[in-house]
Amino acid sequence: MVIVVFLCLLILAPFPSSLGLWPIPRGLSAGTATVKLSSSFDIHVAFNNVPADLDDAIHRIKTHLKTDTFERLVVGRGSADANSVHRAFSIKDLTLSLTQNVTIRPVAVEVNTVGIEDRDESYILTIPAKGTQATLVANSTLGLFRGLSTFDFMWYHFDGEKYILNAPLRITDSPAFPYRGFSFDTSRNFYPVSDIKRTLDAMSWVKLNVLYWHIADSQAFPLQVAAFPELAARGAYSQEEIYTESDIKSVVKYANERGIDVVMELDTPGHTTAIGMAHPEHIACFAKSPWTKYANEPPAGQLRIASADTVNFAKKLFQSAIDLLDGTMMSSGGDEVNLPCWNEDEDTLAALEQNNQTIAQALDQFVQEVQGVMNANGKMPFIKSDMVLEHNVTVLNNTGVVVWKSSLDAVSVAQRGLRFIHQPSNYFYLDCGAGDWVGNNVLGNSWCDPFKTWQRAYSFDPYANLTTDQQHLVLGGQMPIWSEQSSSENLDQIVWPRLAAGAEVFWTGATLPDGNPRLGVNATSGVNAFARLNEVRYRLVDRGVKAIALQPKWCALRPGLCDVDS
Protein backbone atom coordinates (compact mmCIF):
# COMPACT_ATOMS: atom_id res chain seq x y z
CA MET A 1 0.00 0.00 0.00
CA VAL A 2 2.76 2.42 0.98
CA ILE A 3 4.61 1.59 -2.21
CA VAL A 4 1.51 2.18 -4.33
CA VAL A 5 0.93 5.59 -2.77
CA PHE A 6 4.59 6.45 -3.25
CA LEU A 7 4.44 5.53 -6.93
CA CYS A 8 1.33 7.64 -7.42
CA LEU A 9 3.11 10.65 -5.97
CA LEU A 10 5.99 10.13 -8.34
CA ILE A 11 3.65 9.98 -11.29
CA LEU A 12 1.53 12.92 -10.24
CA ALA A 13 4.12 15.48 -9.25
CA PRO A 14 5.06 17.86 -10.57
CA PHE A 15 2.16 18.87 -12.75
CA PRO A 16 3.62 19.95 -16.10
CA SER A 17 3.64 23.71 -16.40
CA SER A 18 2.62 23.67 -20.04
CA LEU A 19 -0.49 21.54 -19.64
CA GLY A 20 -3.51 23.70 -19.12
CA LEU A 21 -6.08 21.28 -17.79
CA TRP A 22 -8.92 22.52 -15.58
CA PRO A 23 -10.09 20.86 -13.41
CA ILE A 24 -6.85 19.08 -12.75
CA PRO A 25 -7.28 15.35 -13.42
CA ARG A 26 -7.00 13.03 -10.47
CA GLY A 27 -4.54 10.74 -12.22
CA LEU A 28 -2.04 11.93 -14.80
CA SER A 29 1.20 10.93 -16.38
CA ALA A 30 2.68 13.26 -18.92
CA GLY A 31 5.76 13.47 -21.11
CA THR A 32 7.49 16.32 -22.86
CA ALA A 33 6.83 15.60 -26.53
CA THR A 34 4.83 17.92 -28.75
CA VAL A 35 2.03 16.28 -30.74
CA LYS A 36 -0.45 17.90 -33.09
CA LEU A 37 -3.73 16.91 -34.68
CA SER A 38 -3.53 15.73 -38.26
CA SER A 39 -5.41 17.77 -40.87
CA SER A 40 -7.53 14.65 -41.39
CA PHE A 41 -8.08 14.18 -37.65
CA ASP A 42 -11.38 12.51 -36.78
CA ILE A 43 -13.19 11.10 -33.77
CA HIS A 44 -14.50 7.54 -34.06
CA VAL A 45 -16.78 5.55 -31.85
CA ALA A 46 -15.98 1.85 -31.48
CA PHE A 47 -19.54 0.73 -30.83
CA ASN A 48 -22.83 0.76 -32.68
CA ASN A 49 -25.99 2.65 -31.83
CA VAL A 50 -24.16 5.81 -30.81
CA PRO A 51 -26.66 7.96 -28.90
CA ALA A 52 -27.50 11.20 -30.70
CA ASP A 53 -26.38 13.40 -27.81
CA LEU A 54 -22.94 11.78 -27.74
CA ASP A 55 -22.70 12.18 -31.49
CA ASP A 56 -23.67 15.85 -31.13
CA ALA A 57 -20.97 16.34 -28.49
CA ILE A 58 -18.40 14.89 -30.89
CA HIS A 59 -19.55 17.28 -33.60
CA ARG A 60 -19.26 20.26 -31.28
CA ILE A 61 -15.70 19.28 -30.41
CA LYS A 62 -14.75 18.86 -34.05
CA THR A 63 -16.14 22.33 -34.66
CA HIS A 64 -14.11 23.75 -31.76
CA LEU A 65 -10.97 22.15 -33.17
CA LYS A 66 -11.62 24.15 -36.33
CA THR A 67 -12.76 27.43 -34.80
CA ASP A 68 -10.77 27.79 -31.54
CA THR A 69 -7.92 30.24 -31.87
CA PHE A 70 -6.51 30.19 -28.33
CA GLU A 71 -2.71 30.39 -28.40
CA ARG A 72 -0.59 29.31 -25.46
CA LEU A 73 -0.04 32.01 -22.85
CA VAL A 74 3.67 32.66 -23.21
CA VAL A 75 5.64 35.58 -24.56
CA GLY A 76 5.36 35.26 -28.33
CA ARG A 77 2.25 33.09 -27.93
CA GLY A 78 2.05 30.20 -30.40
CA SER A 79 5.12 31.24 -32.34
CA ALA A 80 7.20 30.30 -29.27
CA ASP A 81 6.30 26.67 -30.06
CA ALA A 82 6.59 26.92 -33.85
CA ASN A 83 9.66 24.72 -34.21
CA SER A 84 8.44 21.87 -32.07
CA VAL A 85 4.96 22.00 -33.65
CA HIS A 86 6.54 21.79 -37.06
CA ARG A 87 8.44 18.59 -36.14
CA ALA A 88 5.64 17.03 -34.06
CA PHE A 89 3.97 13.68 -34.70
CA SER A 90 0.35 13.89 -35.84
CA ILE A 91 -2.59 12.27 -34.11
CA LYS A 92 -5.00 11.04 -36.76
CA ASP A 93 -7.77 9.71 -34.66
CA LEU A 94 -9.44 9.63 -31.26
CA THR A 95 -11.35 6.41 -30.66
CA LEU A 96 -14.09 6.22 -28.05
CA SER A 97 -14.99 2.91 -26.48
CA LEU A 98 -17.01 1.62 -23.57
CA THR A 99 -15.83 -1.08 -21.20
CA GLN A 100 -17.45 -4.44 -21.67
CA ASN A 101 -21.01 -5.22 -20.70
CA VAL A 102 -22.28 -1.72 -20.12
CA THR A 103 -25.63 -0.64 -21.48
CA ILE A 104 -25.32 2.10 -24.09
CA ARG A 105 -27.60 4.94 -23.12
CA PRO A 106 -27.77 8.61 -24.10
CA VAL A 107 -25.81 11.02 -21.89
CA ALA A 108 -29.13 12.65 -20.97
CA VAL A 109 -30.54 9.34 -19.80
CA GLU A 110 -27.50 8.69 -17.61
CA VAL A 111 -28.04 12.11 -16.03
CA ASN A 112 -31.79 11.78 -15.64
CA THR A 113 -32.20 8.27 -14.42
CA VAL A 114 -29.14 7.50 -12.33
CA GLY A 115 -28.99 9.00 -8.83
CA ILE A 116 -26.27 11.61 -8.43
CA GLU A 117 -24.12 9.37 -6.25
CA ASP A 118 -24.37 6.38 -8.54
CA ARG A 119 -23.21 7.92 -11.81
CA ASP A 120 -20.00 6.75 -13.38
CA GLU A 121 -18.17 9.78 -14.75
CA SER A 122 -14.75 8.11 -14.88
CA TYR A 123 -12.69 7.95 -18.05
CA ILE A 124 -9.22 7.14 -19.29
CA LEU A 125 -7.74 9.30 -22.05
CA THR A 126 -4.45 8.48 -23.73
CA ILE A 127 -2.54 10.50 -26.27
CA PRO A 128 0.62 8.87 -27.62
CA ALA A 129 3.87 10.71 -28.30
CA LYS A 130 4.70 8.74 -31.42
CA GLY A 131 1.56 6.87 -32.45
CA THR A 132 -1.32 8.18 -34.47
CA GLN A 133 -4.22 7.09 -32.31
CA ALA A 134 -5.60 8.61 -29.13
CA THR A 135 -8.08 6.62 -27.06
CA LEU A 136 -10.87 7.37 -24.65
CA VAL A 137 -12.45 4.63 -22.54
CA ALA A 138 -15.28 4.88 -20.01
CA ASN A 139 -17.97 2.82 -18.33
CA SER A 140 -20.79 5.06 -19.53
CA THR A 141 -21.57 7.62 -22.20
CA LEU A 142 -21.43 10.16 -19.37
CA GLY A 143 -17.84 9.13 -18.67
CA LEU A 144 -17.07 9.46 -22.38
CA PHE A 145 -18.63 12.92 -22.33
CA ARG A 146 -16.38 14.01 -19.43
CA GLY A 147 -13.33 12.66 -21.22
CA LEU A 148 -14.38 14.48 -24.38
CA SER A 149 -14.60 17.70 -22.36
CA THR A 150 -10.98 17.23 -21.34
CA PHE A 151 -9.98 16.62 -24.95
CA ASP A 152 -12.09 19.59 -26.06
CA PHE A 153 -10.42 22.08 -23.71
CA MET A 154 -6.72 21.21 -23.90
CA TRP A 155 -5.35 22.07 -27.35
CA TYR A 156 -3.24 25.08 -28.22
CA HIS A 157 -3.71 26.80 -31.56
CA PHE A 158 -0.96 28.10 -33.79
CA ASP A 159 -0.82 28.75 -37.50
CA GLY A 160 -3.68 26.40 -38.34
CA GLU A 161 -2.38 23.62 -36.05
CA LYS A 162 -3.73 22.24 -32.77
CA TYR A 163 -1.06 20.85 -30.46
CA ILE A 164 -0.05 20.00 -26.90
CA LEU A 165 3.43 19.87 -25.40
CA ASN A 166 3.09 16.98 -22.95
CA ALA A 167 2.73 13.72 -24.83
CA PRO A 168 2.60 10.90 -24.09
CA LEU A 169 -0.35 11.68 -21.91
CA ARG A 170 -2.41 9.30 -19.87
CA ILE A 171 -5.27 10.71 -17.82
CA THR A 172 -7.16 8.44 -15.43
CA ASP A 173 -9.88 10.62 -14.08
CA SER A 174 -13.07 10.63 -12.04
CA PRO A 175 -14.66 13.25 -9.81
CA ALA A 176 -13.96 13.48 -6.08
CA PHE A 177 -17.56 14.61 -5.48
CA PRO A 178 -20.69 13.69 -7.43
CA TYR A 179 -22.38 17.12 -7.12
CA ARG A 180 -20.61 20.09 -8.74
CA GLY A 181 -23.05 22.90 -9.33
CA PHE A 182 -23.85 26.45 -10.21
CA SER A 183 -26.83 28.10 -8.51
CA PHE A 184 -28.46 30.60 -10.83
CA ASP A 185 -31.04 33.18 -9.70
CA THR A 186 -33.12 34.17 -12.73
CA SER A 187 -35.77 36.01 -10.73
CA ARG A 188 -34.35 39.25 -9.30
CA ASN A 189 -33.37 40.07 -12.84
CA PHE A 190 -34.36 38.05 -15.89
CA TYR A 191 -31.94 36.28 -18.22
CA PRO A 192 -32.86 35.10 -21.72
CA VAL A 193 -32.66 31.37 -22.40
CA SER A 194 -29.63 31.99 -24.63
CA ASP A 195 -27.70 33.23 -21.56
CA ILE A 196 -28.58 30.08 -19.65
CA LYS A 197 -27.50 27.88 -22.54
CA ARG A 198 -24.20 29.72 -23.01
CA THR A 199 -23.57 29.24 -19.29
CA LEU A 200 -24.39 25.53 -19.55
CA ASP A 201 -21.86 25.11 -22.35
CA ALA A 202 -19.14 26.79 -20.32
CA MET A 203 -20.10 24.73 -17.26
CA SER A 204 -19.70 21.52 -19.23
CA TRP A 205 -16.18 22.52 -20.37
CA VAL A 206 -15.04 22.54 -16.72
CA LYS A 207 -17.10 19.46 -15.79
CA LEU A 208 -19.73 21.15 -13.64
CA ASN A 209 -22.76 18.92 -13.56
CA VAL A 210 -25.67 20.66 -11.83
CA LEU A 211 -27.60 23.80 -12.72
CA TYR A 212 -29.43 24.63 -9.50
CA TRP A 213 -32.09 26.89 -10.92
CA HIS A 214 -33.46 29.44 -8.46
CA ILE A 215 -36.16 30.41 -10.90
CA ALA A 216 -38.58 32.52 -8.86
CA ASP A 217 -38.43 34.84 -5.87
CA SER A 218 -40.32 37.64 -4.16
CA GLN A 219 -39.62 40.19 -6.86
CA ALA A 220 -40.74 38.17 -9.90
CA PHE A 221 -42.25 34.82 -10.83
CA PRO A 222 -41.09 34.08 -14.39
CA LEU A 223 -41.92 30.34 -14.32
CA GLN A 224 -44.85 29.28 -16.48
CA VAL A 225 -46.64 26.18 -15.17
CA ALA A 226 -49.75 24.53 -16.58
CA ALA A 227 -51.62 24.40 -13.27
CA PHE A 228 -51.29 28.14 -12.66
CA PRO A 229 -50.42 30.08 -15.83
CA GLU A 230 -51.56 33.25 -14.06
CA LEU A 231 -48.49 33.11 -11.79
CA ALA A 232 -46.13 34.05 -14.61
CA ALA A 233 -48.73 36.10 -16.46
CA ARG A 234 -49.05 38.44 -13.46
CA GLY A 235 -45.89 37.75 -11.48
CA ALA A 236 -43.25 38.11 -14.21
CA TYR A 237 -41.72 41.49 -15.02
CA SER A 238 -43.26 41.36 -18.49
CA GLN A 239 -44.64 38.91 -21.01
CA GLU A 240 -41.17 38.79 -22.57
CA GLU A 241 -39.54 37.92 -19.25
CA ILE A 242 -41.15 34.52 -18.78
CA TYR A 243 -39.73 31.00 -18.99
CA THR A 244 -42.45 29.19 -20.89
CA GLU A 245 -43.00 25.49 -20.48
CA SER A 246 -41.16 24.90 -23.74
CA ASP A 247 -38.26 27.12 -22.55
CA ILE A 248 -37.96 25.01 -19.40
CA LYS A 249 -37.98 21.77 -21.39
CA SER A 250 -35.47 23.12 -23.83
CA VAL A 251 -33.08 24.25 -21.06
CA VAL A 252 -33.39 20.91 -19.29
CA LYS A 253 -32.70 18.99 -22.52
CA TYR A 254 -29.76 21.23 -23.41
CA ALA A 255 -28.31 20.73 -19.93
CA ASN A 256 -28.87 16.98 -19.83
CA GLU A 257 -27.19 16.48 -23.20
CA ARG A 258 -24.16 18.20 -21.70
CA GLY A 259 -24.05 15.93 -18.67
CA ILE A 260 -25.74 18.55 -16.49
CA ASP A 261 -28.69 17.99 -14.20
CA VAL A 262 -31.23 20.74 -13.58
CA VAL A 263 -32.32 21.03 -9.94
CA MET A 264 -35.13 23.52 -9.89
CA GLU A 265 -35.56 25.40 -6.64
CA LEU A 266 -39.06 26.59 -5.86
CA ASP A 267 -38.07 28.62 -2.85
CA THR A 268 -40.87 28.25 -0.26
CA PRO A 269 -42.46 29.34 1.98
CA GLY A 270 -40.39 32.57 2.11
CA HIS A 271 -39.24 34.53 -0.96
CA THR A 272 -42.66 34.11 -2.57
CA THR A 273 -44.25 37.58 -2.65
CA ALA A 274 -44.59 37.54 -6.46
CA ILE A 275 -47.08 34.65 -6.17
CA GLY A 276 -49.37 37.22 -4.57
CA MET A 277 -49.65 39.15 -7.84
CA ALA A 278 -51.99 36.39 -9.03
CA HIS A 279 -52.94 34.77 -5.73
CA PRO A 280 -52.97 37.32 -2.90
CA GLU A 281 -55.00 34.87 -0.81
CA HIS A 282 -51.89 32.68 -0.35
CA ILE A 283 -49.50 35.40 0.79
CA ALA A 284 -49.08 36.75 4.32
CA CYS A 285 -47.77 40.31 4.85
CA PHE A 286 -47.96 41.02 1.12
CA ALA A 287 -45.68 44.04 0.40
CA LYS A 288 -46.14 45.11 4.03
CA SER A 289 -44.20 48.12 5.27
CA PRO A 290 -41.59 48.50 6.58
CA TRP A 291 -40.26 45.54 4.65
CA THR A 292 -37.22 45.30 6.92
CA LYS A 293 -39.50 44.06 9.71
CA TYR A 294 -41.14 41.36 7.60
CA ALA A 295 -38.52 40.12 5.14
CA ASN A 296 -34.81 40.10 4.34
CA GLU A 297 -35.49 41.83 1.04
CA PRO A 298 -38.29 43.94 -0.37
CA PRO A 299 -41.10 43.25 -1.04
CA ALA A 300 -42.25 41.39 2.08
CA GLY A 301 -44.52 38.38 1.72
CA GLN A 302 -44.49 34.63 2.26
CA LEU A 303 -46.87 31.69 1.88
CA ARG A 304 -49.63 31.21 4.47
CA ILE A 305 -48.24 27.91 5.71
CA ALA A 306 -51.09 27.24 8.14
CA SER A 307 -53.81 27.52 5.50
CA ALA A 308 -54.93 24.20 4.03
CA ASP A 309 -55.74 25.95 0.74
CA THR A 310 -52.23 27.36 0.53
CA VAL A 311 -50.62 24.02 1.33
CA ASN A 312 -52.70 22.44 -1.44
CA PHE A 313 -51.74 25.25 -3.78
CA ALA A 314 -48.04 24.70 -3.02
CA LYS A 315 -48.34 20.96 -3.60
CA LYS A 316 -50.06 21.52 -6.93
CA LEU A 317 -47.41 24.07 -7.90
CA PHE A 318 -44.61 21.60 -7.15
CA GLN A 319 -46.40 18.86 -9.08
CA SER A 320 -46.94 21.11 -12.07
CA ALA A 321 -43.27 22.13 -12.12
CA ILE A 322 -42.18 18.52 -11.70
CA ASP A 323 -44.25 17.60 -14.75
CA LEU A 324 -41.84 19.77 -16.77
CA LEU A 325 -38.68 18.39 -15.23
CA ASP A 326 -36.65 15.30 -15.86
CA GLY A 327 -34.05 14.26 -13.37
CA THR A 328 -33.70 12.86 -9.89
CA MET A 329 -33.49 16.02 -7.75
CA MET A 330 -35.50 19.12 -6.86
CA SER A 331 -35.42 21.78 -4.14
CA SER A 332 -38.01 23.49 -1.97
CA GLY A 333 -35.52 26.13 -0.84
CA GLY A 334 -36.63 27.36 2.56
CA ASP A 335 -34.24 30.17 3.45
CA GLU A 336 -34.97 33.27 5.48
CA VAL A 337 -38.54 32.79 6.68
CA ASN A 338 -39.74 35.68 8.80
CA LEU A 339 -41.75 35.01 11.95
CA PRO A 340 -43.28 38.51 12.51
CA CYS A 341 -44.81 38.20 9.02
CA TRP A 342 -46.90 35.22 10.14
CA ASN A 343 -47.39 36.45 13.71
CA GLU A 344 -49.15 39.57 12.46
CA ASP A 345 -51.16 37.91 9.70
CA GLU A 346 -54.77 37.47 10.74
CA ASP A 347 -55.43 34.67 8.28
CA THR A 348 -52.45 32.72 9.55
CA LEU A 349 -53.33 33.29 13.19
CA ALA A 350 -56.90 32.11 12.58
CA ALA A 351 -55.70 29.01 10.74
CA LEU A 352 -53.20 28.21 13.46
CA GLU A 353 -55.91 28.46 16.07
CA GLN A 354 -58.25 26.31 14.05
CA ASN A 355 -55.52 23.69 13.55
CA ASN A 356 -54.37 24.01 17.16
CA GLN A 357 -50.84 24.49 15.77
CA THR A 358 -47.85 26.66 16.47
CA ILE A 359 -46.01 28.35 13.61
CA ALA A 360 -43.22 25.83 14.06
CA GLN A 361 -45.65 22.95 13.68
CA ALA A 362 -47.29 24.48 10.62
CA LEU A 363 -43.88 25.07 9.05
CA ASP A 364 -42.87 21.50 9.80
CA GLN A 365 -46.04 20.20 8.19
CA PHE A 366 -45.66 22.46 5.16
CA VAL A 367 -42.14 21.18 4.50
CA GLN A 368 -43.25 17.58 4.88
CA GLU A 369 -46.08 18.14 2.41
CA VAL A 370 -43.90 19.60 -0.35
CA GLN A 371 -41.13 17.07 0.28
CA GLY A 372 -43.85 14.43 -0.04
CA VAL A 373 -44.69 15.63 -3.55
CA MET A 374 -41.03 15.53 -4.61
CA ASN A 375 -40.53 12.13 -3.02
CA ALA A 376 -43.64 10.68 -4.65
CA ASN A 377 -42.20 11.77 -8.01
CA GLY A 378 -38.85 10.12 -7.34
CA LYS A 379 -36.98 13.36 -6.71
CA MET A 380 -34.36 13.59 -4.01
CA PRO A 381 -35.43 16.74 -2.12
CA PHE A 382 -33.02 19.58 -1.36
CA ILE A 383 -33.61 22.17 1.35
CA LYS A 384 -31.76 25.22 2.65
CA SER A 385 -29.77 24.72 5.85
CA ASP A 386 -31.67 27.23 8.02
CA MET A 387 -34.82 25.08 7.76
CA VAL A 388 -32.92 22.29 9.46
CA LEU A 389 -30.63 24.25 11.78
CA GLU A 390 -32.86 27.15 12.85
CA HIS A 391 -36.35 25.72 12.41
CA ASN A 392 -35.62 22.08 13.09
CA VAL A 393 -38.14 20.89 10.53
CA THR A 394 -38.62 17.18 9.89
CA VAL A 395 -37.01 16.20 6.60
CA LEU A 396 -36.85 12.97 4.65
CA ASN A 397 -33.67 11.07 5.37
CA ASN A 398 -32.52 11.28 1.75
CA THR A 399 -32.70 15.10 1.81
CA GLY A 400 -29.74 17.08 0.51
CA VAL A 401 -29.12 20.19 2.60
CA VAL A 402 -27.78 23.32 0.93
CA VAL A 403 -25.37 24.82 3.48
CA TRP A 404 -25.35 28.51 2.65
CA LYS A 405 -25.08 31.00 5.50
CA SER A 406 -21.61 30.07 6.65
CA SER A 407 -19.14 27.29 6.08
CA LEU A 408 -19.33 26.71 9.85
CA ASP A 409 -22.89 25.34 9.42
CA ALA A 410 -21.63 22.26 7.59
CA VAL A 411 -20.58 20.64 10.87
CA SER A 412 -24.04 21.12 12.42
CA VAL A 413 -25.74 19.60 9.38
CA ALA A 414 -23.29 16.69 9.43
CA GLN A 415 -24.11 16.10 13.09
CA ARG A 416 -27.73 15.54 12.02
CA GLY A 417 -26.49 12.79 9.73
CA LEU A 418 -27.87 14.53 6.63
CA ARG A 419 -26.11 14.68 3.29
CA PHE A 420 -25.33 18.17 2.08
CA ILE A 421 -23.74 20.42 -0.51
CA HIS A 422 -21.43 23.33 0.31
CA GLN A 423 -22.62 26.75 -0.83
CA PRO A 424 -21.13 28.91 1.93
CA SER A 425 -21.60 32.66 1.50
CA ASN A 426 -18.20 33.26 3.09
CA TYR A 427 -16.40 31.42 0.26
CA PHE A 428 -18.59 30.95 -2.78
CA TYR A 429 -21.08 33.77 -3.34
CA LEU A 430 -20.33 35.40 -6.67
CA ASP A 431 -22.46 38.48 -5.93
CA CYS A 432 -20.77 39.82 -2.78
CA GLY A 433 -18.81 43.05 -2.63
CA ALA A 434 -20.80 45.28 -4.98
CA GLY A 435 -22.18 47.68 -2.38
CA ASP A 436 -25.74 47.79 -1.05
CA TRP A 437 -28.64 47.90 -3.50
CA VAL A 438 -31.14 49.15 -0.96
CA GLY A 439 -32.06 52.58 -2.27
CA ASN A 440 -31.24 54.90 0.59
CA ASN A 441 -28.21 53.19 2.07
CA VAL A 442 -25.66 54.85 -0.14
CA LEU A 443 -22.65 54.06 2.03
CA GLY A 444 -23.76 50.46 2.68
CA ASN A 445 -22.01 47.24 1.76
CA SER A 446 -23.42 43.96 0.48
CA TRP A 447 -24.40 41.69 3.39
CA CYS A 448 -21.78 39.14 2.40
CA ASP A 449 -18.88 41.56 1.88
CA PRO A 450 -16.16 41.37 0.79
CA PHE A 451 -16.02 40.25 -2.86
CA LYS A 452 -15.15 36.55 -3.04
CA THR A 453 -12.03 36.18 -5.13
CA TRP A 454 -11.29 33.03 -7.10
CA GLN A 455 -8.46 32.36 -4.68
CA ARG A 456 -10.88 32.47 -1.75
CA ALA A 457 -13.25 29.99 -3.43
CA TYR A 458 -10.36 27.83 -4.55
CA SER A 459 -8.96 27.61 -1.01
CA PHE A 460 -12.14 25.96 0.30
CA ASP A 461 -11.67 22.57 1.92
CA PRO A 462 -14.86 20.47 1.57
CA TYR A 463 -13.79 18.34 4.55
CA ALA A 464 -12.89 21.22 6.87
CA ASN A 465 -13.87 20.49 10.47
CA LEU A 466 -15.67 17.24 9.58
CA THR A 467 -14.74 13.94 11.17
CA THR A 468 -13.67 11.11 8.89
CA ASP A 469 -17.02 9.46 9.59
CA GLN A 470 -18.87 12.55 8.36
CA GLN A 471 -17.00 12.96 5.10
CA HIS A 472 -19.32 10.66 3.15
CA LEU A 473 -22.14 13.15 3.79
CA VAL A 474 -20.52 15.74 1.50
CA LEU A 475 -22.18 15.43 -1.90
CA GLY A 476 -20.20 18.33 -3.32
CA GLY A 477 -20.96 21.99 -3.66
CA GLN A 478 -21.91 24.95 -5.78
CA MET A 479 -21.16 28.63 -6.25
CA PRO A 480 -24.27 30.82 -6.59
CA ILE A 481 -25.02 34.09 -8.33
CA TRP A 482 -27.83 36.04 -6.68
CA SER A 483 -29.09 38.49 -9.24
CA GLU A 484 -30.03 41.64 -7.34
CA GLN A 485 -27.15 43.41 -9.10
CA SER A 486 -26.65 41.14 -12.09
CA SER A 487 -28.40 40.74 -15.39
CA SER A 488 -27.76 39.60 -18.91
CA GLU A 489 -25.31 42.49 -19.35
CA ASN A 490 -22.79 41.28 -16.74
CA LEU A 491 -23.55 37.58 -16.38
CA ASP A 492 -20.39 36.23 -17.98
CA GLN A 493 -18.20 38.78 -16.25
CA ILE A 494 -19.49 38.18 -12.74
CA VAL A 495 -19.52 34.41 -13.10
CA TRP A 496 -16.42 33.63 -15.16
CA PRO A 497 -13.77 32.57 -14.62
CA ARG A 498 -14.46 32.47 -10.85
CA LEU A 499 -17.02 29.67 -11.19
CA ALA A 500 -14.25 27.45 -12.51
CA ALA A 501 -12.65 27.60 -9.03
CA GLY A 502 -15.61 25.68 -7.62
CA ALA A 503 -15.43 23.24 -10.52
CA GLU A 504 -11.89 22.21 -9.58
CA VAL A 505 -12.58 22.14 -5.82
CA PHE A 506 -15.33 19.58 -6.30
CA TRP A 507 -13.91 17.60 -9.20
CA THR A 508 -10.38 17.29 -7.85
CA GLY A 509 -11.27 17.17 -4.16
CA ALA A 510 -10.25 18.31 -0.72
CA THR A 511 -6.59 18.30 -1.73
CA LEU A 512 -4.64 18.14 -4.94
CA PRO A 513 -4.11 14.63 -6.32
CA ASP A 514 -0.67 14.53 -4.64
CA GLY A 515 -2.24 15.21 -1.24
CA ASN A 516 -1.01 18.79 -0.99
CA PRO A 517 -3.36 21.65 -0.10
CA ARG A 518 -4.92 23.19 -3.17
CA LEU A 519 -3.78 26.73 -2.54
CA GLY A 520 -0.85 27.39 -0.29
CA VAL A 521 0.95 30.69 -0.08
CA ASN A 522 1.91 30.24 -3.68
CA ALA A 523 -0.78 30.14 -6.33
CA THR A 524 1.72 29.61 -9.09
CA SER A 525 3.60 26.72 -7.57
CA GLY A 526 2.73 23.05 -7.62
CA VAL A 527 -0.12 22.73 -10.07
CA ASN A 528 0.16 26.27 -11.40
CA ALA A 529 -3.41 27.15 -10.54
CA PHE A 530 -3.13 30.79 -11.49
CA ALA A 531 -1.58 30.01 -14.86
CA ARG A 532 -4.15 27.31 -15.60
CA LEU A 533 -7.05 29.55 -14.61
CA ASN A 534 -5.69 32.31 -16.83
CA GLU A 535 -5.85 29.76 -19.61
CA VAL A 536 -9.46 28.94 -18.77
CA ARG A 537 -10.26 32.64 -18.98
CA TYR A 538 -8.64 33.10 -22.38
CA ARG A 539 -10.21 29.88 -23.73
CA LEU A 540 -13.66 31.06 -22.57
CA VAL A 541 -13.18 34.43 -24.27
CA ASP A 542 -12.07 32.63 -27.42
CA ARG A 543 -15.41 30.81 -27.42
CA GLY A 544 -17.48 33.94 -26.88
CA VAL A 545 -17.91 33.90 -23.08
CA LYS A 546 -16.95 37.33 -21.75
CA ALA A 547 -14.90 36.10 -18.80
CA ILE A 548 -12.92 38.86 -17.11
CA ALA A 549 -9.16 39.13 -16.88
CA LEU A 550 -7.58 38.03 -13.60
CA GLN A 551 -4.31 39.84 -14.22
CA PRO A 552 -2.72 42.22 -16.70
CA LYS A 553 -1.97 40.26 -19.85
CA TRP A 554 1.74 40.93 -19.17
CA CYS A 555 1.45 38.69 -16.09
CA ALA A 556 -0.72 36.08 -17.80
CA LEU A 557 2.01 35.69 -20.43
CA ARG A 558 4.69 35.32 -17.73
CA PRO A 559 3.39 32.85 -15.11
CA GLY A 560 4.91 33.58 -11.73
CA LEU A 561 6.58 36.86 -12.65
CA CYS A 562 3.85 38.93 -10.98
CA ASP A 563 4.10 36.99 -7.71
CA VAL A 564 5.17 39.02 -4.70
CA ASP A 565 8.98 38.94 -4.45
CA SER A 566 9.32 37.62 -7.98
Ligand X SMILES: *[C@@H]1O[C@H](CO)[C@@H](O)[C@H](O)[C@H]1NC(C)=O
Q: Does 356 bind ligand X (CB under 6 A)?
A: yes
Q: Does 392 bind ligand X (CB under 6 A)?
A: yes
123 near ligand X (CB under 6 A): yes
Q: Is 336 a catalytic residue?
A: yes
Cβ nearer to ligand X, comparing 385 with 483: 385
CA-nearest of 269, 190, 274 to 235 is: 274
Report the residue number, 124 or 233, with the smaller CB distance to ligand X: 124
560 binds ligand X (CB under 6 A): yes
Asked whether 346 and 133 are in contact (CB, 8 A), the reply is no
Residue type, position 485, single letter: Q
Residue 207: φ, ψ to 5°: 70, 25
Pick between residue 86 and residue 472 the one whose CB is nearest to ligand X.
Answer: 472
- The pair phi, psi for residue 422, each rounded to 5°, is -85, 125
Contact residue for ligand X among 2, 3, 4, 521 (CB under 6 A): 521
Q: Rounded to an integer, what distance in angstroms lies between the CA atom of residue 71 and that of residue 57?
A: 23
Q: Which of residues 360-379 bind ligand X (CB under 6 A)?
A: none
Options 40, 69, 100, 239; binder of ligand X; rule CB under 6 A: 100
In the chain, the amino acid numbered 394 is T
Identify residues 132-161 at the interface with ligand X (CB under 6 A): 137-139, 143
**Between residues 234 and 416, which has the closer beta carbon with respect to ligand X?**
416
Catalytic residue among 161, 257, 265, 336: 336
Cβ proximity to ligand X: between 392 and 453 the closer is 392
Q: How far apart are the first and last CA of the chain?
A: 40
Q: Which amino acid is it at 346?
A: E
- Listed in order, strand segments (DSSP E) in 305-344 are 329-331
Q: Does 398 bind ligand X (CB under 6 A)?
A: yes
* Pairing mode of beta strands 179-185, 329-331: unpaired
| # residues contacting ligand X (CB under 6 A) | 25
Determine the Cα–Cα distance for residues 20 and 256; give it in Å rounded to an integer: 26
The only residue of 224, 338, 407, 425 in contact with ligand X, by rule CB under 6 A: 407
Question: Who contacts 270 (Cβ-Cβ below 8 Å, separation ≥6)?
Answer: 295, 302, 303, 333, 334, 335, 336, 337, 338
Binding to ligand X in span 436-495, by CB under 6 A: 461, 464-465
SS3 302: strand
For residue 21, the SS3 value is coil
CA angle 467, 464, 476 (to 5 degrees): 95
Indicate whether 168 belongs to the interface with ligand X (CB under 6 A). no
Does residue 408 bind ligand X (CB under 6 A)?
Answer: yes
Q: Of residues 34, 122, 268, 478, which one binds ligand X by CB under 6 A?
A: 122
Closest approach of Cβ 369 to ligand X, in Å?
16
Give residue 560's identity as a one-letter amino acid code.
G
Q: Tell me which stretch binds ligand X (CB under 6 A): 70-78, 217-225, 392-400, 445-453.
A: 392-400
Q: Catalytic site residues?
A: 336
The site for ligand X (CB under 6 A) is made up of 99-101, 122-124, 137-139, 143, 356, 392, 394, 397-398, 407-408, 461, 464-465, 521-522, 524-525, 560
